[in-house]
Every structure is written in C-alpha cells, then in structure tokens.
Structure 1
Amino acid sequence: MPFTGFKFSKLNSATNILPFECGDEDLNSFLSNKAIAYKKELLATTYILESEEKTIAYLSIYNDALAVQEKNFASKSALERTVKKIIDHPKRHLRQFPAIKIGRLAVCKQTKETRKGIGRSLVNYVINLALEQNSSCACQLITVDAYSESLDFYTKLGFNFLTEKDKGEDTRQMYLDLRPYMNAFEETL
C-alpha cells in the first residue's frame, strides 16, 4: 500500500498543514488557503497524507449529483446512450444521479516521481468510502472534472467521459459507476 510510512487523516480547523508543492499553483493554494474554510462551510472534506516534514498528497470530496442534460450532448441519441450506461432501466424523468465528487486530488511533485500509486490509492479510498456509506445514503457514481493532464490517469482507473462536447476544454466531466464495485463489496460482507 502506498500509504505505508505516511499519516493519513481528515483535515480539521486544528490541522497544521505541512508544506506542499505539486506543480499546480491552484491546487497548492487550495490546500493552504481554502481547504479548512471549505470544511467549516460544509463545502468539501479534505483528507491529507503526510510525512513528518511535508504533505505528500491531498484529496477533497463532496456530495454531487451528475446532471445529464440534452444540451451537453451532440444529439438526443447520444444522451440516451449515456443514460443507458448509467442506469439499466432508464426512466424518462431520471436525469440526475447521486454521486461523490472528487473536487481536488493532488500528489507532491517530488513524491510522484519516487512513489507510484498514491493517486490511485486515494481514488480507491473514495470508492471504499462511497461503498460503505451506500447502506445509509445512495451513491451510484464518483465524478470528477478532470484537468486535461489527468485524463489518462482517470481513464486507467475506469472513469468514463460524460460527453464529447467538452473535448479540448481545460477540464472534462468524467464518472465512475460504482455498481460493479458494490456487487464485489457485498460479496465480501
């Protein structure tokens, strides 16, 4: 497990955030300047992975609903194909699906080069969290607005693009269907 030797915890107002540098100023700034405020305002929960001297990685998540709207698709048939992927028996009125959103996920630039699998482990943490909470509150998907440089990472983890209309944009909407994981999760209970 890539977390070996590190401390993994939920950020709170008493957390002393250790230095962090991932190479993206927006992601660096969020952790040091906004993450605690987002927690206080119930906008996002941030988890941090730390060594003794620095923050290795962090992840911010929040509740979401994936809204599937015709205007985001090239055609009505493209919309219907996507809805059929998300739900086996599509209902005409059902166009929002319960989800957990990965709002931010970043790994320290230096650590990323020496320890592989930290980002994948953080996504797996979100998957397991969603599966555990599904007995109390339904969650079918994990969503992310992925930066273009992260598209391959999320694709390798099984995420799908919601639409082709955002191709070439700075970010693309992606989702991971939790139903296959839920079946495997229930078998282990």
Structure 2
Amino acid sequence: MKISNVDNLKIVKTDLEQLKTIDFDCGDEDLNEFLLKDSFENIKNNLCTIFLCIYEEDVIGFFSLSADSIKINDELKIQYPQYPAIKIGRLAVSKEFQNQHIGSLMIDWVVGFCRNLGNEIGIRFVSVDAYNNAKTINFYNHNQFVELESVKKKNRRNIPMYRDICERLN
C-alpha cells in the first residue's frame, strides 16, 4: 500500500490495552514477536516504551525506546567515560509499507523527541544495536548513525551504532 500523504501519519505512545488489539507483520519474526508478545513484560517492568506509527487507523510501524549510555568514538570537549543516550531497542515497518521511508520518518521523530526531552534532562545521543547485515547497517548509516569503532563486527548478531542529536545544532 502506498502512503499518499505523510501528514496523515501519527506516532503515539501505546499502552498494554492497545497492544492487545494490534495486527502487525513486518516480515521479521523476531520483531513481530517482540511487539505482539515480549513488549507486554517489557512495558510492565519499565524496560522500554513502545510507540506506534499509525496511518489511517492502521499500525504501519513501531519502535521501542529506553534509557542508555554509550562510549563514543570521538571525545567531546567535556570528557566522560559514557554519555547519556536514548536507545531505539526495536524498530520495524509493516511489510505493506516498507520502502517508503517510514523507518527514516520514525527516526526523525525520535531525534526530535530526544531534542525536546534534552531540554529537560541530559541526552546527547540516540543509540541502536542494528542487525549485522548490510541492508540494516546501510539504513542506519543513511540516517546519520555511525558504528562504534571499539566493537568488532565479526560474528556479532548486532552492531552498536549511535547518532549525535546535537550535531546540527552546533
């Protein structure tokens, strides 16, 4: 299905009751299972928050957010062993809506959300543990994420990556 107007997209924080009614398939069983099963316990235990991307009443994507801290490649003027971050734990787009830049729009929303939240608490980075495959790594690179240099790619399921949300503000 083609999205005719991105202005009709909305991103909402979900709750346990809404999650029970969702029909979603992104083509990746692990991501589907996270949203439709595992997320309930994660939310109950305050491990993450789930946001849904909705288009014309259909859930077409989701992502989870949680607190994080990272050791980055480059040092800032103020040197800390770790810097505050918000982690995108999971991010997926429904099979019907893939290849329409919905994932990038959700990342843009997360960056804006984190910048606003950064006015209240310290947040400098958005982090993600990306699947270790070329398509996923390229997607995050395209969305201004860089790999942590200290992590070797060989035989890893996920690659830690980050994006500086203050980069354009400096």
Q: One-letter code of the match for 1:127? A: V
Q: 1-side partners of 2:25 and 2:7: how far apart?
A: 20
Aligned to 1:46: 50
Structure 1 position 180, deviation (Å) = 1.7
TM-score by length of 2: 0.85
Does residue 19 of the first structure (1) align with residue 23 of the second (2)? yes
Q: 2-side partners of 1:102 and 1:86: how far apart?
A: 22
Q: 1-side partners of 2:83 and 2:129: how far apart?
A: 16
Aligned to 2:148: 162
Q: 2-side partners of 1:57 and 1:131: how far apart?
A: 22
Unaligned 5+ segments in structure 1 are: 69-81, 184-189
Structure 1 position 181, deviation (Å) = 3.5
- Identity in percent: 29
Instruction: Choose which of 95, 116, 124 in structure 1 pairs with 2:108.
Output: 124
Secondary structure at the aligned position of 2:52 is classed as strand
Instruction: Choose which of 3, 8, 31 in structure 2 pairs with 1:5.
Output: 8
Aligned to 1:88: 77
Secondary structure at the aligned position of 2:77 is classed as coil
Q: 2-side partners of 1:135 and 1:18: how far apart?
A: 33
Higher Cα Rg: structure 1 or 2?
1
1:100-179 map, 5 Å: 100-113=86-99, 116-149=100-133, 150-163=136-149, 165-168=151-154, 169-179=156-166
Secondary structure at the aligned position of 2:15 is classed as coil
How many pairs align?
163
Q: 1-side partners of 2:50 and 2:169: how far apart?
A: 24
Q: 2-side partners of 1:121 and 1:21: how far apart?
A: 19
Secondary structure at the aligned position of 2:60 is classed as strand
Unaligned 5+ segments in structure 2 are: none
Structure in which a larger fraction of residues adopt helix:
1
Q: One-letter code of the match for 1:22? A: C
Check whether the contact 2:8–2:56 (CA below 8 A) recurs between aligned residues. no
Does residue 32 of the first structure (1) align with residue 33 of the second (2)? no
Root mean square deviation, CA, Å: 2.1
